[in-house]
Amino acid sequence: MKRFTKEHEWIEAKGDTGKVGISDFAQDQLGDIVYIELPDKGKKLKKGDVLCTIESVKAANDIYSPVSGEVIEINGDLDANPELINEDAEGKGWIVEIKLSDTSELDDLMTEEEYRKYAKEEG
């Protein structure tokens, strides 16, 4: 099940790991993504820390970690094809996989239904 932040990041957790990316709404707001500065594997994050920076034709935006944990996998496809985020933000355009240090942090995030309502109000 995916959970979302008010900053338009998502996490799909399975056990104590989760794939993280930005929502389709966020990629639409950013426009054409031309570069992503990926974090290093092993980077330790606290909830709300800057996870990476995405550059689009419009601007550069920081992406924040929805949970605390350690980066255990990076989507290497984004190095050569950052536009994957535009094409499939909530699927193949995932950014990192994190080993969660506190799974209860997921409870503070919005469900997909709550997020879709929130994004509609934002848009």
* 24-54 tens-digit pLDDT: 999 999 999 999 999 999 999 999 999 999 9
pLDDT of residue 122: 82
pLDDT of residue 123: 74
- For 57-99, how does the pLDDT look when each residue is reduced to its tens digit (9 = 90+)? 999 999 999 999 999 999 999 999 999 999 999 999 999 999 9
- Looking at residue 108, the DSSP 8-state letter turns out to be G
Query: CA 85, CA 61: separation in Å to the nearest integer?
Result: 14
29 by Cβ neighbours in 10 Å (0-12 / 13-18 / 19+) ranks as middle
Cα 71 to Cα 15, 30, 78, 87: the distances in Å are 15, 24, 16, 23
List of domains in the chain: 2-122 (2.40.50.100)
Which phi and psi angles does 2 have, rounded to 5°? -85, 145
- Residue 3 pairs in a beta bridge with 11, 111
pLDDT of residue 6: 96
pLDDT of residue 1: 86
